[in-house]
Structure formats: C-alpha cells, structure tokens
Amino acid sequence: MPDVGEGLTEAEILKWFVQPGDTVTDGQVVCEVETAKAAVELPIPFDGVVHALLFEEGTTVDVGQVIISVQTGEAEAPAPAAAAAAPAVAAEAPAAEAEAAPEARQPVLVGYGVSTASTKRRPRKAVAGTAAQNGSAAPVAPAPAAPAAPAPLPAVPAQPSGERPLAKPPVRKLAKDLGIDLASVVPTGDGGVVTREDVHAAAAAAITPQAAAPAAAPAAAPAPVAAPVAVAAPAADASARETRIPVKGVRKVTAQAMVQSAFTAPHVTEFVTLDVTRTMKLVQELKDDPDLAGLRINPLLLIAKAVLVAIRRNPDVNASWDEAAQEIVLKHYVNLGIAAATPRGLIVPNIKDAHAKTLGELSESLSSLVATARDGKTSPADMQNGTITITNVGVFGVDTGTPILNPGESAILAVGAIKLQPWVHKGKVKPRQVTTLALSFDHRLIDGELGSRFLADIAAVLEHPRRLVTWA
C-alpha cells in the first residue's frame, strides 16, 4: 500500500479492477483505495501478469504492506508491487538485482521506489510478514540500493538512460489523460520527481490535438466508490436490536478533527436573522445575464462573495492560532472552505485564493468543487490549508445550527434555509425572503466585537447586495 504523498498511515481497498491471471500494462489502474481524505486510483508501474491479490475489497491496509503480486518478464516468480517496496522487483533473480543496483529506485505501485530516507518514515515489520507469506525473499532491506541513491537525483532531463519516471499516482494519471509521455517530461520536483506543473507545461508545449480528447477520460473511469462504504455495515438478523458499523475512512478522520477542534478552540456562536429578498432578486437577474450564461448562479455564490467582502473589511478574522510558537498567523489570502456531504461523509474542500477571483471564476470553482466532492474524487490537497468555511445547512430545510470549526481555521458560517416569512419592510408587514446565519469562531483569535462586526457585515451585504460593489 503506497503512501500517496500526504503522510497517511492506512487506506481501505475499495475496489480491485484486476483479477489473478489478468495482464497489466505500465500505468494501468489496478485498484481504488480510500484514504482518510479522498479516494485515489493506483496505477501499476510495469507490465506483467497478476499473480495474486493479497487483500480483499473493504480491507483497511497499513501503508507499506504488499497488496498485489505481479509476474513480470524479468523474474521466474511473482514479484510484489508494494508502495514501500523492496529495492528489487524479483529478489530471487541475481540478474535482476545486478540491474537494480545502479538505479537506486525500482518500480512499485506508486510509480517509483522509496529512497533510503523515505524508509525511515514507516515501520517495516508488516511488510516483512506479508512478503514472507507471499513466498518472496523478504524484500525489506533497502540497503543494496542506498549507495546508488544520489546518482539519479540531480538528473533533470527525466530519463536519459531509460530510468522510469518518478511521479505520484495523480500526476501519472494526469499525464495519461493528457497523452503526455512522462519519460519526455523535464522534472522540477525534489529528487527529480515530475510534478503536475511539469505535465501541464509539457502539454502546453506539445499543442497536439490529442491533448483535448483524453481530458474526458476521468469521467469514464469507474466511480462506484460509495458501494464498498455502504457495505461496511454487515447484514444483520432482522431481529437484531443493534448494528455495529466500523469507524474508518472519512468518518474516522472527521470524528477526530471535530473532537480536536471542539476541545482545543474555545467556540463562540452568534446569530443574525435577515431579509435576503434583494439578494434573491439579484440571483435571478444574474441567471438571466447573457455575460454569465453557462455559469451556475445560486444564493451560495453571493453568500460566498459577501463573506469575502466582509473579510476584506475585517482582515483580522482571517487568521490561525500557532500553539507551538504562541503566535497568531494572519493570512493575506482566503482559501474558502465549502462543507460538502458525500456518500463517504462530510468533507470540506476549499477554493484556493478565493479572494482574488471574479464572480464568474468563483462560480466555476464552486461548481467544480461540489461536482468533484459528490463524485468522491476530491484530492487531499483540495482539503488542506483552508482559512474560513461556509456550511449550507439550509439545503436540508434547517433554520440554522452551531457549527464546529474546521481544525486550523478561525471561523465557520452556517447558512439556514431561505423561507418566505412576514417581515416589517418600509413600515409595513410584508412577505419577504428571510434566513438566519450562524457564525462560530475561535475566541482565542476573534473577540466578541470583531466577530459581531464580521457577521453584521455579511448580513449587510446580503440585505443590500449593491454593497458587493460599494464595499469592494
């Protein structure tokens, strides 16, 4: 089981796309796993025949354990394709070991091996046990490859001597979708690793017709990722009074984060009820605007814009607490989190640099974020480094709530249902579109005055949306 690059310790195997006896090719996706943050497709980095699948679907596997055994043309016995893998693909073949020495890193499930320094990150005893069970010659010690490790690191032109490109699974998939040969990409990452930016640069330089067609490939990829999670609860007898469901994946990490947040950051929640009739009229006008044709225009878009305007007027709310350094870190950027309910549980991806986006760009980012989350394809990077979050509980018909902060963030805004209610407008009681906002904030960072002014500014913009212009 590979470390997909986010420092995770385990992952659940959601689905195998191959079976023993199947022929696999370099870059072919063999399984889908769910980490504590997202679902990730894992490609195989060499050609061969699947010898054995060592874990069933639904099994949670520690990073570093062998999960698949593949028979390659270079070995007489199946070779385990492990993420923290051994220095040699076939430990029993002396010729293969001789070739492995100058390469320093060998192909494994994530596309490249692990350097000497990387082996210190994870315990290896689980790998040894699994490898022994598989009948291989205990491919645990990376010592033979260590002396040659420095050799390929300075190499900038990727693979001049036939070495396999170094790239993480998402980057390899991106290259495959764009029709880019990783061997032709000049790496700029540490240790000669090809990054997403490198692939995009290569695609832009190529300017070939094939670059557009593979872009549709991810939509055709198998996406029944919610099914394994739903099966987590074993079928129980109809007379059973209780059912136990294992806590894992997204739900497990969400529970840990909420406990950490609730018992670390002193929460304060304030509420305001407001008339958003003018905002709802503006939403309809923007939908009819030909300049915004094709964009998803909804109340959440204008609420997000109102939050960004209020942050500009109250920049001190956009901060985090550094406990170790005993410092308040003021953020000069806004990574706006949007809480999304998915089949796996609640996740909070964020829109990077939302403060710098136009209304149209913000709409595109919101639509992409929500669609990716619902498809279960949100990447771990999309859920990191958020600053402030919006959670729209109103879609469930709820008036409001007392939301818990996303760890590391200063505030979270809950948006209630927008309902037609009697409201005093210009001295008369009239039916108006009314909603309630709830703002929870970290009282270490935001005192009552600042929190109140911030919430009042959001409400003021939504009551009179012209302030999106005058206050901007």
Residues taking part in catalysis: 443
Q: CB-based contacts of 246: which residues, under 8 Å, 6+ apart?
A: 232
Angle at 1 between CA 150 and CA 380, to 5 degrees: 85
Six token digits for residue 223: 């996406």
Give the separation between CA 415 and CA 101, rounded to whole angstroms.
Answer: 59
Euclidean distance between CA atoms 351 and 357, whole angstroms? 10
CB 416 within 8 A of CB 439: no
CA distance 118 to 110: 14
Contact 408, 426 (CB under 8 A): no
Task: Return the bridge partners of 118, or none.
Answer: none
Cα–Cα distance list, 25 to 22, 48, 68, 142, 355 (Å): 10, 7, 14, 26, 44
Q: How far apart are CA 407 and CA 386, in angstroms?
A: 9
If you count them, how many residues does the chain have?
472
* Residue 421 half-sphere exposure toward CB, CA atoms < 13 A: 14
DSSP label of 380: G
Which residues make Cβ contacts (< 8 Å) with residue 242, sequence separation at least 6?
none
Residue 421 in contact with residue 396, Cβ under 8 Å? no
Distance between CA atoms of residues 321 and 410, nearest Å: 8
Residues 6+ positions from 216 with CB-CB distance below 8 Å: none
For 95: left if phi > 0, alpha if psi spans -120 to 50, otherwise beta; the answer is alpha
